[in-house]
Structure 1
């Protein structure tokens, strides 16, 4: 494996929790024409990375997470990543690759929310945060235009980049843990099944992945793709970005009105392409010997409820039961599987242990998260104390394949059982 590193990246050394961390990026890991699969960039790409994130509308969860504190240019040269590392040496540290959530429509690895500096400093690990294509640009399925699942292929290309280059950033390409939340967790579940991703990581973390909407049959995806094309009214391959986003919005409204599934985005991965197995049939060959940590937040559904819905019932239906069934299947297939549940309900928050609540705990980026409404009136010092405990569990998993325990009040009552320890 090569330890060559791309040129023209910005490196900033800063002190985090008393230790120096080098932040590098944005780095262009691939390029892609619109609606085409990504291509790797040359090792010495002479062009500076743009730092763009995929074009997107505002997040539907701004009222929970707060609007992002940083802004980034939006554009289609968005296959960029950032790295946080304690040192660019031969340390061969564990590597965590972060895949953000956002309903396959919003978010970016370059956002301050997902700065890996605290994890890198506390755990002596390398953290890679990845952008990938979203919405119609990443998941449109339309004959003659786009096969679908391009955002998933972007993630595979990012993992290939990590395998080739991460040793030059102090990381061990043979010890990679891919971590994803919500749509990012769905992505992790699909990557575990994807033949192209086999061998690119040895551990996986799925945080609050709503597996009931993992992928859509190709026929349904094609029908929605035609709704998008009709709304756009021009060739998707040449339409301008504002028109693409407007047609996305109209397609989402039609999908909600006709399907009635509030949780399901209009553009998600497509079954039968890549190829992807049906959601409940893990491939024994792909997942055997993987270490997997999965879980959910006790009140994940409080921000997604329809009229008259019970948050406990819906959290069980959308998160707990599908994740638990999948964990059991993984264990039978030969994976080593562990489960968690976050029960912490911040004082003063109307949302409880809601969707995304673990993110400020995991990343510990005070300036990015301290004003998040879901944290209520909790002083940052308390959030950080709990965050250290959660980060310790995730970091232990990245090193050993077994997570540390989560103390109260992160979890309360009987913890979810470990779903299997297949060897």
Structure 2
């Protein structure tokens, strides 16, 4: 564990302490995570979960930082204004990447600017991905291990974050894409109840939240056949190669381009069975959800209209879920990002809100989705978005968002 100061760019308004990587749990391959005992003597190398290159490098750019990959990856990083008794609001960040790529430790998700501007604590979490996190195969893996990891990280925050200047009773979860899907599931898990009080779902494609167990098990068999050896002892490169073969098979047979081969599994703990009504687990939660106006420009098939597909994949499912949440007693707000950076053919595309919320100029300066936009404009819009998220964390409402950011009470709520 290491502390680093000062912040890395002029975008941070005041000094913050960056602490991490910190191991929050350990896990044997295909086993549930175990909490790390207090005073854990084992050093961490800051590994991230083994993964292939991201399919969105052409949108976000290749990451400018590198991290060792390995299975000792249940780590998190913290940005805090001070390690004191400040009892600040806490943000816990769950990254996207289709349950296959990404890591909370990446510079893209550095929380220093958010921590400094808002006097909050930001925690960025790694969790298991791909087959290591979501394989469903009898006798090998029950599935949903990545979700168990996230619950364990939240338990670590509850127990330890006061030592980093945070209030363990004032936690807001933020997740984008697959991270947003994870939050949608965490809101309904009995194991996660009471571990957070607010949630932000950014561009979560809820139509692919989870897959029936029978279909997940069939894909697990495809993976095992492609691997050709015991998954419990196979080398990591072989696992990644079998993941790739399974993904290609799933695309050929199911034809669902956005849906990864390995995602959460319905009806397998800790996910409640399909059709379980929302109830006490979401009652009283503050929830903010939204999407980018052109989210689907990076996922289009031939002849598809990005506006139509964005409504089908993002706006419609998110809005319907927001209505369900409101009926179950949650307080719900929505937003939409209409910003289309100059010089970018992608418009208000998937992931565009990320540099507004996290990271630094250096982390994002090669992102194609930002086009020719000067960092000063990105930072101006980022201040507005960060202010809204910070207001939400403190009050349960994001307040008014200036164009090209729009928001308000969710449809069907008051």
Give the TM-score category using the shorter length: over 0.9
Runs of at least 4 residues of structure 1 off by over 6 A?
1-8, 412-416
Contact 1:16 1:121 in 2 (8 A): no
For residues 315-368 of structure 1, what are the alpha-carbon distances to aligned partners after superposition, in whole Å with 9 as ceiling and x for unaligned?
Answer: 000000000000000000000000000000001100000000000001141110
> What is the CA–CA distance in structure 1 between the aligned matches of 2:359 and 2:191, rounded to whole Å?
33
Q: Is 1:385 the counterpart of 2:380 in the alignment?
A: yes
1:28-82, Cα deviation, whole Å (9 max, x unpaired): 0000000000000011001111200000000000000000010000000000000
Q: Distance in 2 between matches of 1:115 and 1:125?
A: 13
Instruction: Report the alpha carbon displacement of residue 274 of structure 1 after superposing the two structures with TM.
Output: 1.3
Secondary structure at the counterpart of residue 378 of structure 1: coil
What number of residue pairs does the alignment pair up?
413
SS of corresponding position for 1:78: coil
Give distance in 1, aligned partners of 2:136 and 2:243. 13
Cα deviation 1:368-389 (Å, max 9, x = unaligned)? 0122100000000000000000
Per the alignment, do residues 413 and 181 of structure 1 end up closer, same or farther by CA in structure 2, a change over 3 Å counting?
A: closer
> Which string of whole-angstrom CA distances, capped at 9 and with x for unpartnered residues, describes residues 185-221 of structure 1?
0000000011100000000000000000000000000
Superposition RMSD in Å: 3.3
Does the CA-based 8 Å contact 1:5-1:43 persist in structure 2? no
TM-score of the superposed pair, with normalisation by structure 2: 0.96
Matched, 1:266 2:261: yes
Task: Please report how far the alpha carbon of residue 243 of structure 1 lies from its aligned counterpart in structure 2 after TM superposition.
Answer: 0.1
Deviating more after overlay: 120-129 vs 268-277: 268-277
Structure 2 matches for 1:250-399, cutoff 5 A?
A: 250-277=245-272, 281-399=276-394
In the TM superposition, what whole-angstrom CA distance separates every residue of 1:63-122 from its partner, at most 9, and x where no partner exists? 000000100000000000000000000000000000000000000000000000000000
- Rounded to whole Å, the distance in 1 between the matches of 2:335 and 2:363 is 25
The CA deviation at 1:18 is: 3.3
Inter-partner Cα distance in structure 1 for 2:408 and 2:140:
51
TM superposition score normalised by structure 1? 0.94
Q: Distance in 1 between matches of 2:83 and 2:201?
A: 28
Q: Is the Cα–Cα contact under 8 Å of residues 364 and 387 in structure 1 kept in the other structure?
A: no
Partner Cα separation in structure 2 for residue 73 and residue 378 of structure 1: 32
Contact 1:23-1:117 at 8 Å conserved across structures: yes
Gaps of 5+ in 2: none
CA distance in 2, matches of 1:361, 1:4: 23
For residues 109-158 of structure 1, give each alpha carbon's deviation from its aligned partner in whole angstroms, at most 9, with x where no partner exists. Answer: 00000000000000000000000000000000000000000000000000
In structure 1, what is the Cα distance between the partners aligned to 2:72 and 2:158? 22
Q: Is the 8 A contact 1:108 1:132 kept in 2?
A: yes
Q: Counterparts of 2:327 and 2:336 in 1: how far apart (Å)?
A: 21
Please say if residues 282 and 330 of structure 1, whose CA atoms lie closer than 8 Å, have aligned partners that are also in contact.
Answer: no
The 8 Å contact of residues 282 and 329 in structure 1, kept in 2 or not, is answered as no
Rounded Cα–Cα distance in structure 1 between residues aligned with 2:212 and 2:117 = 42
- Per the TM alignment, residue 410 of structure 1 is displaced from its structure 2 partner at its CA by 2.6
Deviation, 1:20, is 1.2
Query: What residue in structure 1 maps to residue 102 of structure 2?
Result: 107
Residues 334 and 407 in structure 2, CA contact (< 8 A), matched pair in contact too = no
1:116 to 1:28, Cα distance in 2 relative to 1, 3 A: same
Answer yes or no: is the 8 Å Cα contact 2:92–2:171 preserved in 1. yes
